[in-house]
Amino acid sequence: MSKEPKISFVIPVYNESAGLDDFHSSLVNCLDKSGLDDRELIYVNDGSTDGRLKKLNVVAKNDKSVRVLALSRNFGKEIATTAGIQAAHGAAVITIDGDGQHPVELIPEFIARWQAGAKVVIGLRISNHKEGLVKRFGSKLFYGLFNRFTGAKLIPGSTDFRLIDRTVQAEFNRMSEHNRITRGLIDWLGFEREYIKFKAKPRQSGDAGYSFKKLFKLAIDSTISLSLSPLYIAAIFGAVVLPLSMLLGLFMLTDAALSDPLNLNATGSAYVIVLILFLIGVLLVSQGIIGLYLSHIHTETQNRPLYIVDKASSVNIDEN
C-alpha cells in the first residue's frame, strides 16, 4: 500500500460496453504507472440496455478497487455522476467519461494540482473535431446565457473531467435538486480552482448519448434551477412593452387628430392588430416561463429520491 491518499474515480456509463474494456485498461495502466495504488473505480451503470456491461461486474468481483453502482434505469449522466460522487470514499474524487474522450494521461497532473492546494481541478476541452456546428454554436450560446443569468462562472469548454476535494464533495452531497448539471453545481460551490487544458479524443465507440434535444433541455433546466432572472426578464419585458404601446396609441391619435401630416396612411385596425399580437406574445412568453418554474417546483416538491440503486446488480457497493 502506498502512503498516497485514496483517490476515487467516478465513471458514468450508458451503453458504452464496446469501448469500456479499452477505457478500463488504459485507466488502470495509467494509475499503475503513476503509483496510484490506493484507489477506487466507481462505474455507475446508468441503466444501460446493451447488457454487456456484465463484464464489468466480473472485473469488479475479482478486484475490490472496482465498484459497480447499478442504477435501476437510465437517469441521465448528471444524476449518474451525482450517484457516483455520493458513493465515493476517497480524499479526492475524479469524474471522467467512460467513452475514452477524456485523456487518462492527465490524471497525475490533476492530482498534482490538488496536492498543491487546489480544491477543484477542471478539465478544459480545447477542440473536438467530431463536434458538429450546431453543438459548438449551442454550447457557446449556453455558456453565454448561463453565466449571464446565474452569476456562476462557467468557463467555455469546461467539462465533467474534474477533480474535487473531499470537502467540496461533502458540500456537493448536500445539494438535493433534481434538475441538475454537475459542473454547474460544482462551479456554484466555489473553492480554489485550477484548469487543465486538453484536446478531446474521438469517442472510442458508440454514439454520443447526448442529442441536441437533450443538451437543449439540460441548458434550460440548469439555468432555471440556478437563477430566477428569466422570471424578471418577462416582467421587465412587460414593463417596457406596456408604456411603449401606450405611447404608440397616443402617437396614432395625435397623427390622426392633425390629419396625418406624416402620411402614415395606416388604418387604425392594422396598428391594433399588431399591438394585440405583440402583447399576446409577451403574455405567452411570460406564461411559458412561469410554467417552467412551476414544473421545477413540482419535481422538487415531490421529493423523490434522486436515483434508485439496483443493489442486486451492483458490486462492492456499501449496504445501507
Q: Which stretch binds ligand UDP (CB under 6 A): 71-79, 103-111, 174-182, 294-302?
A: 71-79
Q: How far apart are CA 180 and CA 222, in angstroms?
A: 6
Smallest gap, in angstroms, from Cβ of residue 174 to Mg ion? 28
User: Which one, 99 or 187, has the nearer CB to Mg ion?
Assistant: 99
Work out what residue 244 binds among ligand UDP, Mg ion, none; the CB cut-off runs from 5 to 8 Å by kind: none
Q: Which stretch binds ligand UDP (CB under 6 A): 10-18, 142-150, 184-192, 253-261?
A: 10-18
Work out what residue 36 binds among ligand UDP, Mg ion, none; the CB cut-off runs from 5 to 8 Å by kind: none
Residues 6+ apart with CB under 8 A from 215: 135, 138, 139, 142
Nine-digit cell string for 182: 454537475
Smallest gap, in angstroms, from Cβ of residue 186 to ligand UDP? 16
The closest of 117, 146, 305, 113 to 218, measured between CA atoms, is 146
Q: In Å, how far are 37, 39, 94, 284 from 1, measured between CA atoms?
A: 7, 10, 20, 63
Smallest gap, in angstroms, from Cβ of residue 203 to ligand UDP? 6
User: Which one, 47 or 100, has the nearer CB to Mg ion?
Assistant: 100
Beta carbons of 308 and 46 less than 8 angstroms apart: no
The 3-state DSSP class for residue 119 equals coil
Q: Which stretch binds ligand UDP (CB under 6 A): 50-58, 95-103, 112-120, 145-153?
A: 95-103
Q: How many Cβ atoms sit within 10 Å of the Cβ of residue 199?
A: 11
Q: Which stretch binds ligand UDP (CB under 6 A): 12-20, 163-171, 178-186, 238-246?
A: 12-20
The strand ranges marked E within the chain are 7-13, 39-45, 66-70, 92-95, 120-125, 158-165, 193-198
- 123 near ligand UDP, judged by CB under 6 A: no
- 14 near ligand UDP, judged by CB under 6 A: yes
User: Which one, 37 or 310, has the nearer CB to ligand UDP?
Assistant: 310
The closest of 46, 58, 60, 59 to 16, measured between CA atoms, is 46
- 143 near ligand UDP, judged by CB under 6 A: no
Smallest gap, in angstroms, from Cβ of residue 42 to ligand UDP? 12
Beta carbons of 68 and 309 less than 8 angstroms apart: no
- 157 near ligand UDP, judged by CB under 6 A: no
Q: How far apart are CA 71 and CA 47, in angstroms?
A: 6
- 221 near ligand UDP, judged by CB under 6 A: no
Nine-digit cell string for 5: 491518499
Q: Which stretch binds ligand UDP (CB under 6 A): 54-62, 146-154, 185-193, 206-214?
A: 206-214
Which parts of this chain interact with Mg ion (CB under 5 A)? 99, 101
- 76 near ligand UDP, judged by CB under 6 A: yes
For the chain, how many residues are written? 320
Q: Which residues in this chain contact ligand UDP in the complex, by CB under 6 A? A: 12-14, 16, 46, 74, 76-77, 80, 97-99, 101, 208-210
